[in-house]
Amino acid sequence: MIEFIDWGTIDYKEAWDKQEILFEKYLNTKKDKQPVSETPVGDIIFCEHPHVYTLGKSGDVNNMLINDTFLKQVNATYYKTNRGGDITYHGPGQIVGYPILDLESMNLSLKQYINKIEDIIISTLSSYGIKADRLEGATGVWLDKENITKARKICAIGVKASRYITMHGFALNVNTNLQYFNHINPCGFVDKGVTSIQKELGREVDIEEVKAKLKENFEKAFNTTFY
Per DSSP, helices labelled H in 83-152 are: 110-126
CB 32 within 8 A of CB 55: no
Judged by DSSP in three states, 123 sits in helix
Distance between alpha carbon 72 and the CA centroid of its chain, in Å? 24
Torsion of CA 177, 182, 188, 192, to 10 degrees: 80
Q: What are the catalytic residues?
A: 187
User: For strand 94-101 and strand 152-162, is the pairing parallel, antiparallel, or unpaired?
Assistant: unpaired
Distance between alpha carbon 165 and the CA centroid of its chain, in Å? 16
Cα–Cα distance measured from residue 22 to residue 45, given in angstroms and rounded to the nearest whole number:
11
**Cα–Cα–Cα angle for 191, 87, 73, nearest 5°?**
100
**C-alpha dihedral sign at 46, 135, 122, 227:** negative
Burial per residue of 32-59, b for 16 or more beta-carbon CB atoms within 10 angstroms, e otherwise: eeeeeeeebbbbbbbbbbebbbbbbeeb
